[in-house]
Amino acid sequence: MKNLEIVDNYPTTKDPANSKIHLVWYLIPVIGFFPSLWTLYRRQGSREQLTTSRLSVILALTWLLGNFLFTIGAATTSELFTLRLLLLNTFLTSGYFVVSVWLIVRTVRGKSGRLPGFSSFAEEFCDKHLS
């Protein structure tokens, strides 16, 4: 039986500029979810790529769940609450896009792409449910 271990032979680890492009790709709102999920599924890439992928997946899933709940709530309540829930849905979506752009800018500048509290939750959740 072969010894199974995580191999860090992803080609972007040798070129920091190329690695930064991958990190930005992971952080693109909605679209970045798919390469992030693929990176986590394959468990290949640098530590920074895996951390960014976890954060990207959790951000997208949180936005999707919130969007779904606000939309369902707006469809099943009175007109007064419908407007409020749709307005909250708009704030949630705008926040998701602003946070993603902010993380992209921080990544391009070479700073940490972590969100206090949220990044640790993403690591725990992905390690527990995606492993």
Q: Please give the DSSP secondary-structure letter assigned to residue 12.
A: G
| pTM exceeding the 0.85 threshold for the entire prediction | no
| pLDDT classification of 10: cutoffs 50, 70, 90 | very low
**Which pLDDT belongs to residue 130?**
64
Domain boundaries of the chain, sorted by first residue: 15-129
Average pLDDT value for residue range 52-74: 92
pLDDT in tens, 11-40: 444 566 667 888 899 999 999 999 999 988
For residues 31 and 41, give the distance between their C-alpha atoms in angstroms, rounded to a whole number: 16
Sort 21 into a burial class: Cβ within 10 Å, 0-12 / 13-18 / 19+: middle
Closest CA to 70 of 97, 92, 43: 92
The average confidence (pLDDT) of the chain is 82
The CB-side HSE value for 52 (13 A sphere, CA atoms) comes to 30
